[in-house]
Amino acid sequence: MRSLSARKAAQRVHNVSDRTGGSLPLATAARHSTPADDAQNVTLNSGGLTFTFDDYITPGSGYITIYGPNNLVAYRFDVNASFIGNTGKTITVYSPISLSSGTNYHVTIDPTAYVDDNGNPFAGISSPTALNFTTAGSPDTTAPTLTARIHGHSLPYAAPESGTAATAAPAQTTP
């Protein structure tokens, strides 16, 4: 643990003057991201989600979260996970990310997720418009299909009409 005088010295180095002659602590800020805010035709894969900060940062506690349509969580990454790389001022998510084509997403980062080398926290990203992007391709509008098998035999299945329950055809038995 730093002594009080060491903490004050570090704070003085990392402060700027305000209009009254006092000082305000500098907050760590994200300077660049991949994908960039409002990016279109984005393809994310392993190593495709990166953030560059204005200061050296270390993980605190919290999450990087990718939200999809209807504000539903598509991915949530613990900032201390082994697949999140930290190289001083840049963090990279090295986890395979599979997102739906032609879909809008936004990213948040918890305000407790990162701190700089002087202990100043990153303010986080909480607004759904601060870092959003659209994936490449056309949205998938094909309805899913169901193939059911019981004891190795396919069951015929008819898709239900709107507002009715799904039913399978009666099982056929052979003598």
pTM for this predicted structure: 0.64
The predicted structure's pLDDT at residue 66:
93
Q: What is the pLDDT of residues 27-64, one digit of tens each?
A: 566 777 888 899 999 887 655 789 998 889 999 999 99
Decide which of 12 and 49 is more confident. Answer: 49
Please report the DSSP string for 23-92 in residue order: EEEPPB-EEEEESPTTEEEE---TT-EEEEESS-EEE-S-EEEEE-GGG-EEEEEETTSTTEEE-SSEEE
Under a CB-based contact definition with an 8 Å cutoff, are residues 14 and 25 in contact? yes
Q: Report, at the CATH architecture level, how domain 27-135 is classified.
A: Sandwich (2.60)
Please report the DSSP string for 112-153 in residue order: TSEEETTSPBB--B--TTTSEEEESS----PPP---EEETTE
